[in-house]
Structure 1
Amino acid sequence: MLSPILETKIKSQIQDNKIMLYIKGTPQQPMCGFSAAVVQVFNSLGQPYDSANILEDNDLRQGMKEFSSWPTFPQIYIDGEFVGGCDIVMELNNRGELAQMVQEAIAK
C-alpha cells in the first residue's frame, strides 16, 4: 500500500516538474535500454526535465507501480499526466506528437 508520505512525494515531483521521468539509473548513466531510449528522446527535444532513479529507492519503485497502475519502468509524466512507458513515448515521438505535448507543457 502506498504510504501517504510517499504519495505526497510522488505528487510533488510530478507537479513541480513539467516533464518527470522515473527511470532506472540517471540521464547521464541509464541502467537499462528502455530508460536510455527515453532519455535520448527527451534530450533530443531540448527541453528541461527532471528524473528519479528508481533503483536507488525501492519504496519509490514499488510506490510508482501502485501510483500509476503501470508495472514497468520507465514511467513518463508530462504536465502532471501519466503518458506511459518507453513504447508509448517512442510511438508519440515517431508521430511528432511528443514534441507538441512537451512544447505545450513548457509553455504553460
Structure 2
Amino acid sequence: MSEAHKKVENLIKEKPVLIVGMTWCPHCAEAERTIGKVTKDAYEVDMDNEADGDDIHQAATEITGQKTFPYVWISGKFIGGADAVQKLQNDGKLKDLVDSAFR
C-alpha cells in the first residue's frame, strides 16, 4: 500500500466529512458549496495543491472505484461525487447525515 493510499485511508477514518477534489473543478466546488450549507467543518483536500496529489487521486480511485472527482466521504462511508451530494440534499437527507457524522 502506498503512502498516499495510507494517507487517504487515515483521512477517511479521522474526518467526519471529507471532500477530495481539485481547486479548478466546478463539480468539486458544487459539492463543497452544497455541503457548506449544512456544515463549515468539512475537511477538504485539493489534490492540485498537494505534492502527492496524483498519488492521492490514484489512491482515491483505487479505494472507491470512481475515476472522477470529487470524492466525498461522510462518517467513513463513500458517498460519491457532486451528483450524489446534490441528490442527498434534494432528498432532504444531507443535513441529518452530516449532523450524525459530528456526533
**Does the alignment reach a TM-score above 0.5?**
yes
How far apart are residue 7 of structure 1 and its match?
Answer: 2.2
What does residue 50 of structure 1 align with?
A: 43
What pairs up with 1:15-94 in 2 under 5 angstroms? 15-25=13-23, 31-56=24-49, 57-94=53-90
State the identity %.
Answer: 23
Given that residues 30 and 82 in structure 2 are in contact (C-alpha distance below 8 angstroms), is that contact kept between their aligned partners in structure 1?
yes
For residues 7 and 64 of structure 2, the distance between their equivalents in structure 1, rounded to whole angstroms, comes to 14
Q: How many equivalent pairs are there?
A: 100
For residues 102 and 73 of structure 1, the distance between their equivalents in structure 2, rounded to whole angstroms, comes to 20
How far apart are residue 47 of structure 1 and its match?
Answer: 4.0
TM-score (norm 2): 0.90
What CA RMSD, in Å, does the superposition of the two structures yield over aligned residues?
A: 1.2
Greater shift in the superposed pair: 49-58 or 15-24: 49-58
- Residue from 93, 101, 104 that aligns with 2:100: 104
Measured against aligned partners, the alpha-carbon deviations of 1:52-88 in whole angstroms (never above 9, x if no partner) come to: 1122311111121111111110010000110001111
TM-score (norm 1): 0.86
Unaligned runs of 5+ in 1: 26-30
Given that residues 19 and 72 in structure 2 are in contact (C-alpha distance below 8 angstroms), is that contact kept between their aligned partners in structure 1?
yes
